[in-house]
Amino acid sequence: MISVRNIYKNFGDLHVLKGVSSEIQKGEKVAIIGPSGSGKSTLLRCMNLLEEPTYGEIWLDDQLLTPADPYLHPEVMKASRTYQKLLAEEMAKAESGVKAEELSAKLEQELIRRIKEEDLLNEKHEGSEYKNLLKQIEKENRVNVNLARQRVGMVFQHFNLFNNLTVMENLTLAPVTLKLQSAEEATEKASALLKRIGLYEKKDEYPNKLSGGQKQRIAIVRSLVMNPEAMLFDEPTSALDPEMVGEVLELIRELADEGMTMVIVTHEMGFAREVATRVLFMDGGQIKEENTPEEFFGNPQNPRLQEFLSKVL
Amino acid sequence: MTIQSLVTKWNMFFDTFLNKGGYKEVLTGLLNTLIIALLALVLGIIIGTIIAAIEVQPKKYGAWGKTLAVLKKISGIYVAFFRGTPMVVQLLLGYFVILPLLGINLSSIVVATLIMGLNSGAYVSEIMRSGILSVDIGQMEAGRALGLGYGTTMWKIIIPQAVKNILPTLGNELISLVKETSVVSFIGVVDLYKAFRNIGSGNYEYMMPFLVMAVIYIVIILIITFALKMMERGLRASDKR
C-alpha cells in the first residue's frame, strides 16, 4: 500500500533520515517507536509528503509521490554520463577480450554505489538519455500529491482542527470543496461518525470549546469522512491529559479492528504491543529493528532497543 | 479675539455653508473622501493579500519555483516603491506622468482611488503577512494533509484566521486612509478638505470652515472605530475571549 524506498531527509546540515525503506501492506498496523529526534515523525510525514524527502521515493500502490530517484533505477543510472565514464575507465583497466556488456553487468551495483558515495552525479551533465528515462518514469507513475493525500488520512499530535470552523464544517470542508461528496452526503456521513463517537451534539461548536480528547477524536473522524485507505497517526495521544488518552486509543483500536491500514508513531508501548501487527524501532534516522510485537518486546535484538525498552517499560 | 468677532465669523461661515450652497460641496467632498478611502482599502486588501500569500510561500524548485522567485522580486520592488515615496508624489506621478505617457484618460477621482489602493496594498501586504505567520503552521498542514491545495487552504482556513488577528491593524489602515485622502486635492479631486477650503476662500475666512472640518473628520473616525469594534466582536465568535 505505502512503499518507502531508501529515503533520506536533510534539514540543512541535519541528517534526520539516513536511508529508510519499508513496505506497508494493506491491512497492516505498523507502530513506529524510538527516542525523540530519531526521525520517526519525519518518516511518517514523508509518507504523505508533508516533508519532501531529499532522496528516495515514496509510492502509494502504483503511484509515485516524489520525484523519481535515479539511484533506485539501475537502467537510469546506466544511461548517465558519469556511469559511462566510470565504465570506460574500468574497461581500460580490464584485460582485452572482455565485452562492455559483461563488465557492466558485473560492476553495475559497485559503480552505482560508488557514484552515490562519492556524490558524482551532476543532474545537469548526465545527458539526454538519462533525463528522458527519468522523465519517462515520472510521466508514467507520478501523481498530483493532492490526489494521493485524499487517499491517506493524517492525525496530528496537536489535533490541528480548523479553528475558524465549527465541528461540522471541519468534517465536511475537504470532501465538499474537493467535490468528492455533495454537501448532503458529507453532512450525513459526518453526522453518522459524530454519533458513533458520541459527539454529535457538539457539531455546531468551535474547536476551542472542546477538550483535548474530544478534539483528537474529531480530528480522526475528519480524516474518516474522506474514506481513506490508510491512516497516519503522529503521536496522537502525546498532547493529551492522561485521562483522555484512553478514549482516543479506544477509537484508534476500533479502526484497527475494522481493518484500516495504519501507521502510528507513538510512545504508548502497551498500545503498540496490543494493536500493531509490526513494530519498527528507529534511532539515528534509521530503522534499527523491525518485528512482530511479541518478538519486538519479548526478545529485542538491537542493544539500543534493549536500552530504550528498559527505560520506558 | 472677542466673542463678537467669533460670532461674526461663525455667521459668515454659516451663511456660505447653508444659504450659498456650500453644504452641497461639503457633501460631495465627504462622499468622495469616503468612497476613495473605502475602495482604496478594498483594493489594498486584495493586492496585499495576494502579495502576502506569495511572500510566505516556502522556496520551491521547478517551473513554479522560478515563477515564484520572479513574483517575489516584483512584489518586493512594488512594496519598496510605495512605502518609499510620499503619497503626494505617487499621486502626482500617476496623474501627471504615468497616465499621459500611457496616453490614458482617467478622471482624477479614479486615479486617486487607484493610487491610494496601490499605496495601501504595500502596507496591507506586510500586515497580512504577519497575520498569516501568526496562524499555527499546523492549520496549513492539516488542510494539505486532507488533499486541499495550498491556495484553497490559504483562502478557507489561514486567511480568515489571519484577518481576525490583524483586524485592529487593518482598522488603523482604514483610518489612516480616510485621513490621507486630504492630499487628493493635489490632483484636483474635491474631498472634504477641498470643500471646506473652497467655502473659506469665498471671503478669506478660514477659521470656522477648518474647525468644522476637523470635527467632521473626528466624527467619521469615531464611527469607523465603533463599526470595527462590532465587526471584531462578530469575528471572535469562535474564540473563548
Distance from CA of B238 to the nearest CA of A (A): 6
Query: B171-195: per-residue pLDDT in tens?
Result: 889 999 999 898 999 998 888 898 8
**Nearest residue of chain A to residue B161 (CA atoms):** A164
d(CA B241, CA B232): 12
Nearest to B13 by CA among B199, B213, B240: B199
Residues of A with Cβ-Cβ distance to B156 under 8 angstroms: 173, 177
CA distance B95 to B108: 7
Q: How far is CA A42 from CA A9, A258, A293, B117, B200, in A?
A: 8, 27, 22, 43, 71
Predicted confidence band at B238 (pLDDT cuts at 50, 70, 90)? low
Tell me which chain A residues have a C-beta less than 8 angstroms from the C-beta of B160.
164
Dist. CA A236–CA A156, nearest whole Å: 6
Q: Which residues of A touch B237 (CB under 8 A)?
A: 206
Fold annotation for B3-236: MetI-like fold (1.10.3720)
* CA distance linking residue A65 with residue A1, whole number of Å: 13
Check pLDDT > 80 for residue B241: no
For position B239, what pLDDT does the model report? 65
A153 touches chain B (CB under 8 A): yes
Cβ within 8 Å of residue B188, ≥6 positions away: B108
In a mutational test of the A interface, the residue from B146, B148, B157, B161 whose CB has the highest number of chain A CBs within 10 Å is B146
Q: If you ran DSSP here, which 8-state letter would residue B97 be given?
A: I
Tell me whether residues B139 and A209 touch, CB distance under 8 A. no
- Share above pLDDT 90 across residues of chain B, in percent, rounded to a whole number: 54
Q: By percentage, how much of chain B surpasses pLDDT 70?
A: 97
Which portions of chain A are predicted below pLDDT 70?
Answer: none
The minimum CA-CA distance between A158 and chain B, rounded to whole Å, is: 8
Model's pTM, two decimal places?
A: 0.82
Are A218 and A210 in contact by the 8 Å Cβ rule? The answer is: yes
Please state the domain extents for chain B.
Answer: 3-236
Among all chains, which residue has been given the C-alpha cell 551533465? A125
ipTM: 0.88
Name the residue in chain B with its Cα closest to that of A48: B145
3-state SS assignment for residue B1? coil
Q: Strand pairing partners for A233?
A: A155, A264
pLDDT digits (tens, 9 = 90+) for A23-81: 999 999 999 999 988 999 999 999 999 999 999 999 999 999 998 888 888 888 888 88
Location of C-alpha cell 486584495? B46
